[in-house]
Structure 1
Amino acid sequence: MTDKTNKHGPRLDDQMEHETEGLVRGGHPTHAEEFKETEPVSTDAGRDPTAGTTPGEEGAPPGMTADDVEERAEYARMIVGVRYPASGREIAEHAAAQGAPDGAVAALRNLPNRQYENLADVTGELGIGQENRRF
Protein backbone atom coordinates (compact mmCIF):
# COMPACT_ATOMS: atom_id res chain seq x y z
CA MET A 1 0.00 0.00 0.00
CA THR A 2 1.39 3.36 -0.96
CA ASP A 3 1.16 6.49 1.09
CA LYS A 4 -1.83 8.59 -0.15
CA THR A 5 -0.66 11.88 1.35
CA ASN A 6 2.55 13.23 2.65
CA LYS A 7 0.84 14.51 5.84
CA HIS A 8 -0.56 11.26 7.23
CA GLY A 9 0.43 7.67 7.26
CA PRO A 10 -1.46 5.03 5.27
CA ARG A 11 -3.35 3.85 8.35
CA LEU A 12 -4.76 7.32 9.14
CA ASP A 13 -5.55 7.88 5.45
CA ASP A 14 -7.62 4.69 5.39
CA GLN A 15 -9.44 5.68 8.58
CA MET A 16 -10.26 9.15 7.21
CA GLU A 17 -11.47 7.62 3.94
CA HIS A 18 -13.77 5.28 5.89
CA GLU A 19 -15.19 8.16 7.98
CA THR A 20 -16.11 10.22 4.93
CA GLU A 21 -17.34 7.36 2.72
CA GLY A 22 -21.04 7.92 3.60
CA LEU A 23 -20.79 11.62 2.80
CA VAL A 24 -19.12 10.96 -0.53
CA ARG A 25 -21.54 8.24 -1.59
CA GLY A 26 -24.73 9.79 -0.22
CA GLY A 27 -24.05 13.38 -1.22
CA HIS A 28 -25.27 14.68 2.16
CA PRO A 29 -24.18 14.58 5.81
CA THR A 30 -24.68 11.25 7.52
CA HIS A 31 -24.94 12.35 11.15
CA ALA A 32 -28.00 11.01 12.95
CA GLU A 33 -28.02 13.85 15.50
CA GLU A 34 -28.86 17.26 14.08
CA PHE A 35 -26.58 19.07 16.53
CA LYS A 36 -23.58 17.45 14.84
CA GLU A 37 -24.42 19.05 11.49
CA THR A 38 -22.43 22.05 10.37
CA GLU A 39 -24.28 25.36 10.28
CA PRO A 40 -25.22 26.61 6.81
CA VAL A 41 -23.29 29.63 5.62
CA SER A 42 -25.30 32.60 4.44
CA THR A 43 -24.21 34.19 1.23
CA ASP A 44 -23.99 37.90 1.83
CA ALA A 45 -22.30 38.56 -1.49
CA GLY A 46 -23.57 41.80 -2.95
CA ARG A 47 -25.52 42.79 0.17
CA ASP A 48 -24.77 46.16 1.70
CA PRO A 49 -24.93 45.76 5.52
CA THR A 50 -25.46 49.51 5.96
CA ALA A 51 -28.52 49.60 3.70
CA GLY A 52 -30.91 48.37 6.39
CA THR A 53 -33.31 45.50 6.12
CA THR A 54 -34.96 44.26 2.99
CA PRO A 55 -38.67 43.28 2.91
CA GLY A 56 -37.81 39.61 3.42
CA GLU A 57 -35.80 40.34 6.57
CA GLU A 58 -38.44 42.04 8.71
CA GLY A 59 -39.06 39.01 10.88
CA ALA A 60 -42.61 38.38 9.71
CA PRO A 61 -43.63 34.83 8.84
CA PRO A 62 -44.65 34.03 5.26
CA GLY A 63 -48.14 35.33 4.55
CA MET A 64 -47.94 38.21 7.04
CA THR A 65 -46.50 41.69 6.96
CA ALA A 66 -44.68 43.34 9.84
CA ASP A 67 -47.81 45.45 10.44
CA ASP A 68 -49.94 42.29 10.64
CA VAL A 69 -47.57 40.85 13.24
CA GLU A 70 -47.72 44.03 15.31
CA GLU A 71 -51.51 44.30 15.07
CA ARG A 72 -51.95 40.66 16.04
CA ALA A 73 -49.65 41.16 19.01
CA GLU A 74 -51.74 44.17 20.14
CA TYR A 75 -54.94 42.12 19.99
CA ALA A 76 -53.19 39.32 21.88
CA ARG A 77 -52.34 41.76 24.69
CA MET A 78 -55.93 43.08 24.75
CA ILE A 79 -57.61 39.71 25.04
CA VAL A 80 -55.12 37.86 27.19
CA GLY A 81 -56.95 35.64 29.64
CA VAL A 82 -59.99 34.89 27.45
CA ARG A 83 -61.20 31.33 27.99
CA TYR A 84 -61.74 29.71 24.62
CA PRO A 85 -63.99 28.75 22.97
CA ALA A 86 -65.60 32.18 23.34
CA SER A 87 -68.12 34.22 21.39
CA GLY A 88 -67.21 37.51 19.77
CA ARG A 89 -69.33 39.33 22.35
CA GLU A 90 -67.46 37.67 25.25
CA ILE A 91 -64.12 38.56 23.69
CA ALA A 92 -65.19 42.19 23.17
CA GLU A 93 -66.41 42.48 26.78
CA HIS A 94 -63.15 41.04 28.07
CA ALA A 95 -61.11 43.48 25.95
CA ALA A 96 -63.23 46.42 27.19
CA ALA A 97 -62.69 45.31 30.80
CA GLN A 98 -58.92 45.22 30.13
CA GLY A 99 -59.01 48.86 28.96
CA ALA A 100 -58.56 48.18 25.24
CA PRO A 101 -58.91 51.14 22.85
CA ASP A 102 -62.45 51.91 21.69
CA GLY A 103 -61.65 51.13 18.04
CA ALA A 104 -60.40 47.67 18.91
CA VAL A 105 -63.40 46.96 21.14
CA ALA A 106 -65.73 48.11 18.34
CA ALA A 107 -63.97 45.80 15.87
CA LEU A 108 -64.34 42.90 18.29
CA ARG A 109 -68.04 43.71 18.84
CA ASN A 110 -68.57 43.53 15.07
CA LEU A 111 -67.26 39.97 14.89
CA PRO A 112 -69.78 37.46 13.52
CA ASN A 113 -71.76 35.68 16.22
CA ARG A 114 -69.98 32.33 16.51
CA GLN A 115 -67.52 30.53 18.77
CA TYR A 116 -63.83 31.38 18.35
CA GLU A 117 -61.22 28.76 19.22
CA ASN A 118 -58.09 30.89 19.63
CA LEU A 119 -56.37 34.19 18.86
CA ALA A 120 -55.59 33.16 15.28
CA ASP A 121 -59.29 32.49 14.72
CA VAL A 122 -60.19 35.96 16.04
CA THR A 123 -57.52 37.86 14.13
CA GLY A 124 -58.27 35.93 10.94
CA GLU A 125 -61.90 37.05 11.18
CA LEU A 126 -60.68 40.64 11.70
CA GLY A 127 -58.77 40.43 8.41
CA ILE A 128 -55.30 40.39 9.92
CA GLY A 129 -52.88 38.29 7.85
CA GLN A 130 -52.20 34.67 8.75
CA GLU A 131 -48.92 32.85 8.30
CA ASN A 132 -48.89 30.38 5.41
CA ARG A 133 -46.82 27.77 7.23
CA ARG A 134 -45.40 27.18 10.67
CA PHE A 135 -41.65 27.17 11.25
Structure 2
Amino acid sequence: MQRGSDRLSVHKDDVMKHELQGLIRSGRPTRVEEWHDPEPGADDDPAVTTGPVSAGAPDLESLRFELARHLGRKAFPAKRRTLLRDLESAHAPDALTELVSGLPPETTYQNVQQVTQALRR
Protein backbone atom coordinates (compact mmCIF):
# COMPACT_ATOMS: atom_id res chain seq x y z
CA MET A 1 0.00 0.00 0.00
CA GLN A 2 1.37 3.34 -1.07
CA ARG A 3 1.11 6.25 1.30
CA GLY A 4 1.68 9.64 -0.22
CA SER A 5 -0.08 12.69 -1.48
CA ASP A 6 -1.92 10.76 -4.21
CA ARG A 7 -5.66 11.14 -3.83
CA LEU A 8 -6.48 8.68 -6.60
CA SER A 9 -5.25 5.25 -7.52
CA VAL A 10 -3.13 4.50 -10.57
CA HIS A 11 -6.15 2.85 -12.21
CA LYS A 12 -8.32 5.93 -11.63
CA ASP A 13 -5.57 8.14 -13.11
CA ASP A 14 -5.53 6.01 -16.26
CA VAL A 15 -9.32 6.21 -16.56
CA MET A 16 -9.27 10.00 -16.23
CA LYS A 17 -6.48 10.31 -18.84
CA HIS A 18 -8.53 8.21 -21.23
CA GLU A 19 -11.62 10.40 -20.68
CA LEU A 20 -9.67 13.58 -21.43
CA GLN A 21 -7.81 12.23 -24.45
CA GLY A 22 -10.44 13.39 -26.98
CA LEU A 23 -10.56 16.89 -25.49
CA ILE A 24 -6.79 17.23 -25.54
CA ARG A 25 -6.47 16.04 -29.14
CA SER A 26 -9.39 17.97 -30.61
CA GLY A 27 -9.07 21.22 -28.66
CA ARG A 28 -12.85 21.44 -28.20
CA PRO A 29 -15.41 19.73 -25.97
CA THR A 30 -16.24 16.20 -27.08
CA ARG A 31 -19.20 15.31 -24.87
CA VAL A 32 -22.64 14.62 -26.28
CA GLU A 33 -24.51 16.36 -23.47
CA GLU A 34 -23.77 20.07 -23.58
CA TRP A 35 -24.51 20.56 -19.90
CA HIS A 36 -21.19 18.82 -19.10
CA ASP A 37 -19.19 21.50 -20.91
CA PRO A 38 -18.08 24.68 -19.13
CA GLU A 39 -19.89 27.82 -20.20
CA PRO A 40 -17.70 30.26 -22.18
CA GLY A 41 -17.14 33.79 -20.95
CA ALA A 42 -19.53 36.47 -22.19
CA ASP A 43 -18.45 39.68 -23.91
CA ASP A 44 -19.46 41.78 -20.92
CA ASP A 45 -17.59 39.62 -18.38
CA PRO A 46 -14.50 41.19 -16.84
CA ALA A 47 -11.35 40.37 -18.80
CA VAL A 48 -9.97 38.53 -15.76
CA THR A 49 -12.43 35.66 -16.28
CA THR A 50 -11.37 34.93 -19.87
CA GLY A 51 -7.59 35.17 -19.71
CA PRO A 52 -4.60 37.30 -18.80
CA VAL A 53 -5.20 41.02 -18.44
CA SER A 54 -2.80 43.70 -19.63
CA ALA A 55 -2.68 47.12 -18.03
CA GLY A 56 -3.65 50.16 -20.07
CA ALA A 57 -4.55 50.13 -23.76
CA PRO A 58 -4.89 46.76 -25.51
CA ASP A 59 -1.69 45.57 -27.13
CA LEU A 60 -1.40 45.15 -30.87
CA GLU A 61 -1.67 41.36 -30.79
CA SER A 62 -4.84 41.19 -28.70
CA LEU A 63 -6.47 43.93 -30.78
CA ARG A 64 -5.67 42.06 -34.01
CA PHE A 65 -6.97 38.82 -32.49
CA GLU A 66 -10.29 40.38 -31.48
CA LEU A 67 -10.77 41.97 -34.89
CA ALA A 68 -9.95 38.73 -36.69
CA ARG A 69 -12.24 36.76 -34.40
CA HIS A 70 -15.23 38.97 -35.16
CA LEU A 71 -14.55 39.89 -38.79
CA GLY A 72 -13.09 36.77 -40.37
CA ARG A 73 -11.67 36.72 -43.91
CA LYS A 74 -14.85 37.39 -45.85
CA ALA A 75 -14.99 41.04 -44.78
CA PHE A 76 -11.97 42.17 -46.80
CA PRO A 77 -11.25 44.31 -48.73
CA ALA A 78 -13.53 46.72 -46.89
CA LYS A 79 -14.08 50.31 -45.84
CA ARG A 80 -15.10 51.51 -42.39
CA ARG A 81 -18.83 51.21 -43.08
CA THR A 82 -18.51 47.54 -44.10
CA LEU A 83 -16.31 46.75 -41.10
CA LEU A 84 -18.82 48.31 -38.72
CA ARG A 85 -21.69 46.39 -40.30
CA ASP A 86 -19.79 43.11 -40.04
CA LEU A 87 -18.81 43.80 -36.42
CA GLU A 88 -22.42 44.50 -35.51
CA SER A 89 -23.65 41.35 -37.23
CA ALA A 90 -20.99 39.34 -35.36
CA HIS A 91 -22.13 40.91 -32.06
CA ALA A 92 -18.68 42.36 -31.37
CA PRO A 93 -18.10 44.22 -28.09
CA ASP A 94 -19.06 47.89 -28.10
CA ALA A 95 -15.49 48.94 -27.28
CA LEU A 96 -14.21 47.30 -30.46
CA THR A 97 -16.97 48.85 -32.57
CA GLU A 98 -16.18 52.28 -31.15
CA LEU A 99 -12.50 51.86 -32.04
CA VAL A 100 -13.33 50.97 -35.64
CA SER A 101 -15.80 53.86 -35.94
CA GLY A 102 -12.84 56.22 -35.48
CA LEU A 103 -11.20 55.05 -38.71
CA PRO A 104 -11.21 57.27 -41.81
CA PRO A 105 -14.38 56.57 -43.85
CA GLU A 106 -12.87 56.38 -47.36
CA THR A 107 -9.79 54.21 -46.72
CA THR A 108 -10.01 50.65 -48.02
CA TYR A 109 -8.39 47.99 -45.83
CA GLN A 110 -7.12 44.75 -47.35
CA ASN A 111 -6.78 42.71 -44.13
CA VAL A 112 -7.00 42.78 -40.33
CA GLN A 113 -3.36 43.83 -40.03
CA GLN A 114 -4.00 47.07 -41.93
CA VAL A 115 -7.02 47.84 -39.75
CA THR A 116 -4.99 47.18 -36.60
CA GLN A 117 -2.17 49.43 -37.73
CA ALA A 118 -4.61 52.21 -38.59
CA LEU A 119 -6.24 51.91 -35.16
CA ARG A 120 -2.91 52.14 -33.34
CA ARG A 121 -2.02 55.45 -35.05
* TM-score, normalised via structure 2 length: 0.47
Pair member with larger Rg: 1
Larger relative helix fraction? 2
* TM-score, normalised via structure 1 length: 0.42
